């Protein structure tokens, strides 16, 4: 994957990752990003978390068994008036890390999203922008990526 193929949110050398699932704890985040800095809890507004997809990386790696149907993965989608607590941390990315991130998060829309301090008032400006794995659709899956065998779709 060349730099021009990476999602725009992952192109800078230094990014803030907004984590809302398995990476909510610092020790867990460090398993994926050992050199992360500035780990903190933040609030992401006007989105909600939901189990809305099949995690392609985990099914492809054999970590989950499609036959059990216990394959739902957490994602986020726009939802006016909703919010959730997430972790935010800063990482320096090289192309190998970008490639690994994209492989691990195949199927998600990798976007930039604003985040706020936990105690920030409703009218407070965002504390920053971070990379967020958002909901997508089967129509947006990368070329050659298909739902796992036995499943009609990834999203839905």
CATH number at residue 49: 3.10.490.10
Residue 118 CA to residue 68 CA, distance in Å, equals 37
User: Per residue in 46-97, pLDDT tens?
Assistant: 999 988 877 776 677 777 777 777 777 888 999 999 999 999 999 998 888 8
pTM of the model: 0.84
Per the domain annotation, does 150 fall within a domain? no
Per the domain annotation, does 51 fall within a domain? yes
Per the domain annotation, does 155 fall within a domain? no
**Overall number of domains in the chain:** 1
Domain span including residue 122: 8-136
DSSP 3-state assignment of 60? helix
Per DSSP, what are the bridge partners of residue 2? none
Residue 56 CA to residue 104 CA, distance in Å, equals 8
Q: What are phi and psi of 146, to 5 degrees?
A: -125, 160
pLDDT of residue 147: 77
Contacts of 81 (CB under 8 A, 6+ apart): 46
User: Per residue in 2-35, pLDDT tens?
Assistant: 444 788 898 889 999 999 988 889 998 888 888 9
């Amino acid at each position: 994957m060349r730099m021009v193929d990476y999602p725009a949110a992952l192109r800078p050398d230094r990014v803030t990752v907004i984590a809302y699932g398995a990476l909510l704890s610092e020790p867990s985040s460090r398993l994926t990003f050992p050199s992360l800095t500035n780990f903190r809890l933040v609030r992401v507004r006007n989105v909600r978390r939901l189990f809305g997809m099949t995690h392609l990386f985990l099914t492809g790696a054999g970590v989950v068994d499609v036959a059990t149907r216990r394959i739902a993965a957490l994602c986020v989608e726009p939802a006016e008036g909703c919010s959730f607590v997430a972790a935010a941390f800063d990482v320096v990315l090289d192309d190998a890390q970008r490639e690994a991130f994209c492989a691990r998060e195949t199927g998600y829309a990798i976007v930039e999203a604003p985040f706020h301090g936990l105690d920030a008032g409703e009218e407070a400006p965002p504390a920053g922008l971070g990379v967020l794995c958002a909901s997508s659709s089967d129509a947006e899956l990368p070329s050659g990526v298909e739902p796992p065998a036995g499943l009609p779709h990834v999203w839905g």
